[in-house]
Amino acid sequence: MRAVYILWLRQLKRYSRSRSRMIGSLGQPLLFLLALGFGFAPTFSKAGGGSYITFITPGIISMGILFTAVFSGIEIIWDRQFGFLKETLVAPVSRIGIVLGRVLGGATVAMIQGTVVLIVCLVAGFRFDRTVFLPLALVFMFLIALLFTAIGTSIGSVLQDMQGFPLVMNFLVMPLFFFSNALFPIQGLPKALQMIVRLNPVTYGVDGLRGSLSSNHGYVFGVGQDLVVLGFLTAVLLAIGSHLFSRIEL
Amino acid sequence: MESCGKVRPPDTIPRIMSEMIEVRDLVKNFGNFCAVDHVSFTVARGKIFGFLGPNGAGKTTTIKILTTILHPTSGTIYVDGHDPVREQREVRRAFGIVFQDPSLDDELTALENLELHGILYSVASGDRKKRIEELLKFVELWDRRNDFVKRFSGGMKRRLEVARAFLHRPKILFLDEPTIGLDPQTRNHIWSYIQQMSKGENVTVFFTTHYMEEADRVADEVAVIDHGKIVTQGTPAELKERTQAKTLEDAFITLTGHTIREEEASSKDRMRTMARAWGRR
């Protein structure tokens, strides 16, 4: 248990010390929020969708969490490259303990990043009208963080070096974000696209978060379904991540 | 080279529990490649043991098997009386290790790196603090304890790793080329730390090196491995006598030949090169 704690703490320390990373990973969500959020606002409200900033904020928060979480998981490759991974792998600690510490640490970092994005969105004009649902929003944020740190961990356990990183960004993380309901509503989409969006786990995270933050847009799938889908996938990916991590050879 | 083929019947020598390391008929195949070929040796408690051999001879593979990182294809191994395959946890508690490449967290301070290690090895909190202070003073890094490791020179990192490896009071210390790439001053310091700790706390030391004069100076006993097989074992003096060589280096070349060994770069080596090119982030 102490081992899980110290590895979790290590991730937090590394994150808090790397200002450039903190600010750097804010850049992308900020860009989307400002350019799309304000750019599409007139069209969106004219079409009867209400405030686009309110609509897009849960999507932007999810984006911040998604990117940070996957990156945190993939950090295993750095640790492998810079040697620290060996130090943990020969210690008299179970691999499950190590992976748990890493995933919880990565997810916490992603949560913090998501919270910072939320604050930025508030400054940009986002308002949430369901204060009582705020704890539920935090639960969704943490589930998204956990799920994607686990995915990052799985990938990081398999990849040998950072060469594969752009591949992961462009063919997994970006599509996961764009083919979700983060930027546009799911209703009225072409059939094929709607299918893809419905199969995307990010969609359920965004839906849960959106429903918990604004009554205007509500839950499309229902809070129960969002929680079940996300919780189930998180459990599965955690199991896969631990399994792949425990198979790492030096 | 081909795989090692049929495993020979086990030796008739009885298992001696008093030895720190006992290896009998150790075989490790990587696919068709035989990296370690029926290797047998013992290391007595409290001794400093040098494991010498050209590049690709099987040194690192053997260390990885002894330290539970790699599973052997066959053979009997005991480290402090425990089997690294079946009793992983016990073996891991018994040894400390300094890897060939740095394995510190650059973004943490020297103190934090040791703290983390102490907690991973369940060293009780009060004892941990005392032990860390004692060891950091011993390797002359106490004044730099709150500095980030990324600001450290190669020699300082090595010293910190040596301190870390002793932190949980291991019975045996593995060192894979501990002095590679360091200046003579630092090399001497590193060895003097290791020798003092080994004597003071009765720690067995198992090391590999390419610096034969170091092996000659510090090792109580050495074994020479080549092409996955033990060529000879004895005290440095015995080896020199056997080969009628003046220095251990001459003895080593007599035993292993003049040919340069070409190793195929593994993905690890490529990564190492890349990490160097990237300048340690």
**How far apart are the C-alpha atoms of B149 and A73, rounded to whole Å?**
23
Nearest CA of chain A to the CA of B266: how many Å? 11
Closest CA relative to residue B136, chosen from B149, B122, B119, B151: B149
Domain spans of chain A, in order of start? 2-246
Best probe of the A interface among B100, B104, B119, by most A CBs < 10 A, is: B119
- pLDDT (0 to 100) of residue A166: 85
Instruction: Tell me the per-residue pLDDT of A20-38, one tens digit each, with 9 for 90 and over.
Output: 888 888 899 999 999 999 9
Q: Which member of B105, B115, B270 has the closest CB to residue A84?
A: B105
- pLDDT (0 to 100) of residue A58: 95
In the predicted model, residues of chain A with pLDDT beneath 70 are: none
Instruction: Tell me the per-residue pLDDT of B99-143, one tens digit each, with 9 for 90 and over.
Output: 999 999 999 999 999 999 999 999 999 999 999 999 999 999 999
pLDDT at B265 over 70: no
DSSP A172: I
**How far apart are the C-alpha atoms of B171 and B168, rounded to whole Å?**
9
Cα Rg of chain A, angstroms? 18
**How far apart are the C-alpha atoms of B50 and B223, rounded to whole Å?**
6
**How far apart are the C-alpha atoms of B202 and B169, rounded to whole Å?**
10
B232 pairs with which residues across the strands? B224
Nearest CA of chain A to the CA of B125: how many Å? 11
Reported ipTM: 0.90
Residues 6+ apart with CB under 8 A from B185: none
pLDDT band at B92 (very low <50, low <70, confident <90, very high): very high
Say yes or no: A102 contacts chain B, CB-CB below 8 A. Answer: no
B50 pairs with which residues across the strands? B207, B222
- pLDDT (0 to 100) of residue B280: 43
pLDDT at B237 over 90: yes
Give, in degrees to the nearest 5, the angle at Cα A122 between A119 and A125.
155
Beta carbons within 10 angstroms of residue B200's beta carbon: 10
Give, in degrees to the nearest 5, the angle at Cα B53 between B48 and B58.
100
Q: DSSP string covering B77-121, please?
A: EEETTB-TTT-HHHHHHHEEEE-SS--S-TTSBHHHHHHHHHHHT
Domain spans of chain B, in order of start? 19-257
How far from each other are the two terminal CA atoms of chain A, in whole angstroms?
24
Three-class SS state of B33: strand
pLDDT at B12 over 50: no
Instruction: Tell me the per-residue pLDDT of B212-235, one tens digit each, with 9 for 90 and over.
Output: 999 999 999 999 999 999 999 999
Best probe of the A interface among B91, B105, B114, B273, by most A CBs < 10 A, is: B105
Contact (CB<8Å) A83/B102: yes
pLDDT at B184 over 50: yes
Quick one: what percent of chain B has pLDDT higher than 90? 79
> What average pLDDT does chain B have?
89
Give, in degrees to the nearest 5, the angle at Cα A95 between B93 and A153.
145
Using the CB atoms, write b or e for B15-37: b if 16+ within 10 Å. Answer: eeeebbbbbbbbbbbeeeebbbb
- pLDDT (0 to 100) of residue B56: 85
Contact (CB<8Å) B275/A82: yes
Three-class SS state of A31: helix
pLDDT at B6 over 60: no
Phi, psi of B63 (to 5 degrees): -60, -40
Q: Which residue of B has its CA nearest to A2?
A: B119
- pLDDT (0 to 100) of residue A1: 82
- pLDDT (0 to 100) of residue B269: 58
- pLDDT (0 to 100) of residue A232: 97
- pLDDT (0 to 100) of residue B116: 97
- Indicate if the alpha-carbon torsion angle A102, A104, A105, A106 is positive or negative: positive
**How far apart are the C-alpha atoms of B104 and B110, rounded to whole Å?**
9
CATH fold group of domain B19-257: Rossmann fold (3.40.50)
Counting every residue written for chain A, the total comes to 250
Phi, psi of B50 (to 5 degrees): -100, 130
Greatest alpha-carbon span in chain B:
56
**Contact (CB, 8 A) for A241 and A106:** no
- pLDDT (0 to 100) of residue A162: 83
